[in-house]
Amino acid sequence: MQIDLKKVINSKPQKKNIYFSIGIFTALFVMLAVYINTVYFKESKELLSNSYNKQESNLMKKTLRGSILSSDGTVLAYSRLNADGSQTRVYPYGCVFCHAVGYNAFSKNGIEAEVNYYLLNTGDSVLDRAQKSGEGSLADGYTAVSTLNTKLQVLADQALGEREGAVFVTDVKTGKILALVSHPVFDPNNIEEDWDYIAENDSSPLLNRVTQGFYPPGSVFKIFTAYEYYREGMDYESYGFDCNGYFSTEDYRISCFHGGAHGHVDFETSFAKSCNSSFANIGTSLNDEEFKKGLSNLLFDTELPTGFYNRGVSVSSYDISSVFKKLQTSIGQGDTSVSPYHINLVTMAIANGGELMVPYIVDSIEDSRGLTIKKYHPESYGKLLTDDESMFLKELMRAVVTKGTGSQLGSDIYEAAGKTGSAEYNNHGDSHGWFTGFAPVDNPEIAITVIVERGGTGSESAVPIAKQLFDLYFEEIR
C-alpha cells in the first residue's frame, strides 16, 4: 500500500460537504415519506372511486360491502355473499331510491359512489374478522346512514306516479336532503342486465332530473323578478296595474296564461295570481345591469354548491339582450333555463332568512357495532339574500297560498308558502307544472320543489304532490 503523501490532501471542506450531502438526501427521503403519507390520507378515498382502480375487487374478497340506511334506519341497500364468494347488491325498494342512493355496478352513482371508500372498508377488529372468517363470512364494511326519509321518498315517488318529472325535499335549516325523486326510473337491482335498454332509452332514466334537468322556469321565475324589483328599491307598495289579458310594448306582446284577464292588481296580487302582463310591466322597469347582478346573486350563471356526489349540476342561464327577451325572461319564458335543484336552493335560502345551507345526503358512517366513526355536518354557503329581502319574498309566497294559485295548500296544521309555475315548452301552450315552496312560514323547516313534465299548470299537477308531502311531513314525521 503506497499512498503518495503529497496527494493526501487536507480534506476539511470535503468532510463538511459530505455531511451536507447526507443532509440533502435525508431531507429528500423525509419529504418523500411525508408526501406518500399525504397522498394516502388525502387522496385514497377519491382514488378508490376511480373506475380504473381494480382495488375494489381485492377489498371485496375481505369485506362485505356495507349497507346504506335511511335516516329512520330502513335498509336502502345491502350486499349478499354468494356461495362462489361474489357479492350481490340488493336494493329492497327497487326503483324508488334509484337516483338518491345510486347504483353499484361497473360504474357507480349517488351515495354508492360518494361513500364507496367506507362501504368497502371495515371497522371490524382483528378478533371479529378472525371469528367471521372462521364462520365463512367476510368482515362487514362500514354502514352509511343517509339523510333521506323513507316515507317522504316513497310518497313522492307514488305521487309523481307514471309522469316524468322530479321532486326534491330539503331541510332548510341544515341542508339535509329528505327526498330526491326523478322520473322515469330504472331498477338498480338489474342495472347490468338492463344497461343497454336504460342507456339508450329516449326518456333518459339515468338522468337525475333534480340536478341535471334543464327546464324553463315559467312563473316560478317571478320570485327572481320580484326580488330584483325590491332590490332596486322600487316602490312596490304603491304599484298598480290594469290587466286585460296582455301587455304590449313597441312591437311585442306578452299574454297572461291562456289569455285570462286579472283586472286591477297590486304587486302582491300580481305575484299571487301570477299575472304575466303585470310582471312583464315590472320587467320593463328593471335596470339591465342590475338585473344581471341580481340574478347572479341568486346563483344564475354560477356553479351551484353541492354537498353530495353528483355528475355535474346544470348551470342556470338566461338572456336579456333584447327588449323582448327581457320581457319574456321576467315571466320565466324565453331563453331561461333552470334545474329544480337551483329553484330549491333559492327557496331554501328565502325560507332560512337568506342563508343557504348546502344540501347533503350522507349523515354519518357507522361501523358494524353501530358506533359512528364519521359525522357529516351542515355547511353554510353564506347569505344569498338580506333579512328584508327574504321577509319580502316570504310574504309574497305566503300570499300565493292565501289568495293565489297555491290555495290548495291551505291547511289547519301548517302555514305553507310557495310559487307555482306553468312553463310553456312549445308554441301550442303546453306546459310543465312547477311548484316550489316551504312551510311553516314563521319558522320554516322544509322546502319542496316539484316539476311535472307536460303536467299542465303548476296548480293542477305540481301543487297536489307538494300538498301530500307537506301533509305527511306535518302529520306524521315531524
Partner 1 sequence: MRFILPQISNYILAFLMICYAVLALFDFAVKKGTGKSVIAGCQNMCNIFIALTGFFHLYYVTDKAVYLLICLGVVVALLMMLGFTKLIYRDSNRLLLNNMSMLFTVGILILSRISTGKVLRQFVVFLISLMVSMAIPLIFLKINFLRKLTWAYAGVGLAMIASVYIAGEVIHGSRINISVFGLTFQPSEAVKILFVFFLAGMLWDNYKFKNIVFTSLVSALFVIILVISRDLGSALIFYVLFMFVVYVSSGNSLYLIGLIGLGAGFSVLAYKLFSHVRIRFIIWKDPWSDIDNKGYQIAQSLFKITGGGLFGMGLGNGSPRDIPYVETDFIFSAIAEELGIIFAIGLLLVSLSSFIEMMRLASKIVDPFYRLVVYGIALSLTFQTFLTVGGGTKFIPLTGVTYPLVSYGGTSMLVSMVMYYIVQAVYIKLRKETVDNALKPFIFHKKPDRDRNNANRFKKGN
Measured from the Cβ of residue 442, the count of other Cβ atoms closer than 10 Å reads 9
C-beta of 206: minimal distance to partner 1 in Å?
23
The residue (of 124 and 445) whose beta carbon lies closer to partner 1 is 124
In the list 2, 82, 426, 427, the residue contacting partner 1 (rule: CB under 8 A) is: 2
DSSP bridge partners of 436:
419, 449
Q: How far is it, in rounded angstroms, from Cα 221 to Cα 230?
A: 15
Strand extents, DSSP E, 187-262: 240-243, 246-249, 252-255
263: three-class secondary structure by DSSP:
strand
In the list 84, 106, 127, 203, the residue contacting partner 1 (rule: CB under 8 A) is: 127
Task: Please state the φ and ψ torsions of residue 201, each to the nearest 5 degrees.
Answer: -60, 135
Asked if residue 5 binds partner 1 (CB under 8 A), the reply is yes
Q: How far is it, in rounded angstroms, from Cα 358 to Cα 253?
A: 40
Residue 23 cell numbers, joined: 443532509
Give yes or no for a cis peptide into 340 (omega within 30° of 0): no
Residues in the chain: 478
Asked if residue 374 binds partner 1 (CB under 8 A), the reply is no
Please give the residues from 28 up to 67 whose contact with partner 1 meets the rule CB under 8 A. Answer: 28-29, 31-33, 35-37, 39-40, 43-44, 47-48, 50, 52-55, 57-59, 61-62
C-beta of 338: minimal distance to partner 1 in Å?
31
DSSP string computed for 84-102: TS-EEEE-TTTTTTTTTT-
The half-sphere exposure of 285 on its side-chain side, counting CA atoms within 13 A, is 16
Asked if residue 129 binds partner 1 (CB under 8 A), the reply is yes
Rg (CA), the chain: 29
Asked if residue 18 binds partner 1 (CB under 8 A), the reply is yes
In the list 73, 107, 126, 150, the residue contacting partner 1 (rule: CB under 8 A) is: 126
The residue (of 35 and 197) whose beta carbon lies closer to partner 1 is 35
C-beta of 84: minimal distance to partner 1 in Å?
18
C-beta of 9: minimal distance to partner 1 in Å?
6
> Which ranges of 63-140 does DSSP label H, i.e. alpha helix?
110-114, 116-120, 126-134
Asked if residue 1 binds partner 1 (CB under 8 A), the reply is yes
C-beta of 99: minimal distance to partner 1 in Å?
26
Give yes or no for a cis peptide into 188 (omega within 30° of 0): no
In the list 25, 258, 301, 312, the residue contacting partner 1 (rule: CB under 8 A) is: 25
**Strand (E) or helix (H) holding 369:** none
Asked if residue 373 binds partner 1 (CB under 8 A), the reply is no
Asked if residue 261 binds partner 1 (CB under 8 A), the reply is no
Closest CA to 446 of 422, 421, 420, 466: 466
Segment near partner 1 (CB under 8 A), from 16-24, 241-249, 259-267, 447-455?
A: 16-24
The residue (of 44 and 296) whose beta carbon lies closer to partner 1 is 44
Segment near partner 1 (CB under 8 A), from 7-15, 298-306, 383-391, 432-440?
A: 7-15
Q: How far is it, in rounded angstroms, from Cα 87 to Cα 115?
A: 18
**Strand (E) or helix (H) holding 55:** helix 55-62
C-beta of 54: minimal distance to partner 1 in Å?
5
Asked if residue 83 binds partner 1 (CB under 8 A), the reply is no
Residue 36 cell numbers, joined: 406518500
Asked if residue 130 binds partner 1 (CB under 8 A), the reply is yes
DSSP bridge partners of 87:
81
Segment near partner 1 (CB under 8 A), from 119-127, 149-157, 359-367, 449-457?
A: 119-127
Residues in the interface with partner 1 (CB under 8 A) total: 53
Binding site for partner 1 (CB under 8 A): 1-3, 5, 7-9, 11-22, 25-26, 28-29, 31-33, 35-37, 39-40, 43-44, 47-48, 50, 52-55, 57-59, 61-62, 121, 126-127, 129-131, 133-134
